[in-house]
Chain A
Amino acid sequence: MSVFEGLRFRRVYSPIHNLDPRIKFVYVCAIFVAAIIFWELLPLITLFLIQIPFVLLAGVKREWLRSMRGAVFLAAIIFLTNFIFSFIGAGYIVTAKSVENAVAMTLRFIVLVESFSIFFLTTSPDHLGLALEQTHIPYEFCFAFTTAVRFVPVLAEEAQTIMDAQKARGLELEGGNFLKRIRNYIPILIPLIVGSIRRSLELAEAMESRAWGATKNRTNLYVLKMHRGDFILIAITVGILATAIYTRLFFAIPSLNELLGSLF
């Protein structure tokens, strides 16, 4: 659950929190693209580092670290698979290149998690819904999206209660072989799914009894407006993306290994 913890929004005010969520999303996409077009270690390290100021500026260091810690397990798997395959491919020898390659792939994943984590930590679900609405996505979809985001913690809590209830009836969740362990989770998943369906039906009824969808043209109390910070972020985003593409097309990127070799 620690990964979710790291994506959970907390209401604080900072220059980053006040940015337009649409621009922030474009920024995340730009980082995403930049991370995908590079497979060398050096640019990925750069991508990783240029996001740190955002974290510090937003004051979400602790939550961000927690989400990064949640990603460690998957990162380790990515590293190991890459490493083992290049190890076998190179004829069972460890080369500096293969290690660097595996680290680069892992870092790529970490950069992606990093940028998404910054986005979700600094954007409230309401803000996100507002952004969706004002990009002219039908309100039904926006509502479904924000509701889904909002119900994640509720669902986590319910899963805990269900686990308690089944443990109280003698269910052992730990132990047994792999198949047995999966089977153990059936008594937890079924009440959770049934409960979710039941709740969504109830939510639909409650919404309809409060005249959901009665007005065709919705207006919002808050309207997103671009400020100076947003324009700065646009500039930064365009800068990162342009530099990334330019570097990709016209430069041969040295591997860290070669670079260190030429220095010493």
Chain B
Amino acid sequence: MIEVKDVHFTYPNGVEALKGVSLTINNGEFAAIMGENGAGKTTLVKHFNGLLKPTKGSVLVDGVDTRKVSVATLARKVGFVFQNPDTQLFSETVEEEIAFALKNFGFKENIIKRRVTWALNLLGLVQYRKTSPFMLSGGERKRVALASVLAWNPKMLILDEPTIGQDYQQKEKLRQFIMQMKAQRRTIIIVTHDVEFVAECNPRVLLMRGGRMVTDGEARKVLTNPEILTQASVVPPQIAQIFIKLSDLGLPKNVIDVYEAREILLSVLEEQAK
């Protein structure tokens, strides 16, 4: 469980990135943090594993104040995948890259081997086991970075812009993977601009603007409310846009799911045919 209590954060250069954010993310919850560039999304999630410490207020991870423990200790519990994989890749092979964190956390040799194989399989990287991570494409490097964090199976997972540079198939895999993690009662927090991806995943949506939390609610409520979305510079997902424009036909406005949309439209068409 992550408890954020009235957190303020000012960077050393004087920029106040967070101006009093409070929220609680329960175990097993799946949350998406959205908002315009510079809203403070990444700054906020960097507080969850102690990379940044609040200048005012406090952040508790499972009841432990992040100011009291090192990042490495918190990282065992909170996995953080950075937006740009190039900020972490350094090993000679993909395999070693994934084993790096496991070695840091002091896993045993045979367990490391098993975990690495597991992570490689999970993200479809088996054929690159002995390849240098620098030889891979952007999307593949991103998956290596993800694998290197998943390998130690953290209880909470933070993904900063996970869908950037991924093709549709990979996005779909990522979505299924997130759903699987959710079924295992793991906490997942994503920071993203990809409104379609969020609509498909249907998580709890947290909208940020100018260092403050603007809205907190279900995806189907938040993503279908144009006034709130415009405030945070987010465009509604395509399905929601269609349904907002068709509202004069008496259709519900709060639809973001493709299958639900199909059902509704079919029943309307059937009725008209009668």
Bound-state CA distance A164–B45 (Å) is 12
Q: Is the CB of B87 within 8 A of A162?
A: yes
Whether B72 lies near A171 (C-beta < 8 A) is yes
Total of A-B residue pairs, C-beta within 8 Å: 63
List residues of chain A with CB within 8 A of the CB of B101.
169-170
What residues on B are CB-neighbors of A170 within 8 Å? 72, 75-76, 101, 104-105, 152
Q: A170-B72, A171-B72, A191-B87 are in contact. Are A165 and B82 (CB under 8 A)?
A: yes
Across the interface, do B72 and A161 meet the contact criterion of CB distance under 8 Å? Answer: no
Q: Is there a chain B Cβ closer than 8 Å to A229's Cβ?
A: no
Interface size on A, residues (CB 8 A): 19
CB distance from A163 to the nearest CB of B (A): 9
With CB as the reference atom, state the residue of chain B lying closest to A167. B71
B171 at the interface (CB under 8 A from A): no
Q: Which B residues lie within 8 Å of A167 (CB)? A: 51, 71-72, 75
Q: Is the CB of B89 within 8 A of A164?
A: no
Contact B104 A191 (CB under 8 A): no
Contact across chains for B71 and A168 when beta carbons are under 8 A apart: yes
Q: Would B71 and A191 count as touching, CB distance under 8 A?
A: no
Does B80 lie within 8 Å of A168, measured CB to CB? yes
B68-98 near A? 1/0 per residue, CB < 8 Å: 0011100110011010101111100000000
Majority SS of interface residues in chain A?
helix
Chain A CB within 8 A of B5 CB: no
A195 at the interface (CB under 8 A from B): yes
In the bound complex, residues from chain A placing their C-beta under 8 Å from that of B51 are 164, 167-168
* B39 proximal to A (CB < 8 A): no
Closest to B78 in A: A168
Neighbouring A residues of B79 by C-beta, 8 Å = 168
How far, in whole Å, are A86 and B206 apart by their CA atoms in the complex? 67
- In the docked arrangement, what's the CA distance between A164 and B148, Å? 15
List 11 contacting pairs A-B, 8 Å CB cutoff, sorted by A.
A164-B87, A165-B82, A167-B72, A168-B82, A169-B148, A170-B72, A186-B90, A190-B90, A191-B89, A194-B86, A195-B87
Interface residues of B (CB under 8 A from A): 46, 49, 51, 70-72, 75-76, 79-80, 82, 84, 86-90, 100-101, 104-105, 134, 148-149, 152
Extra 5 A-B pairs, beta carbons < 8 Å, given A170-B75, A170-B76, A190-B90: A158-B87, A165-B88, A171-B72, A172-B72, A194-B90
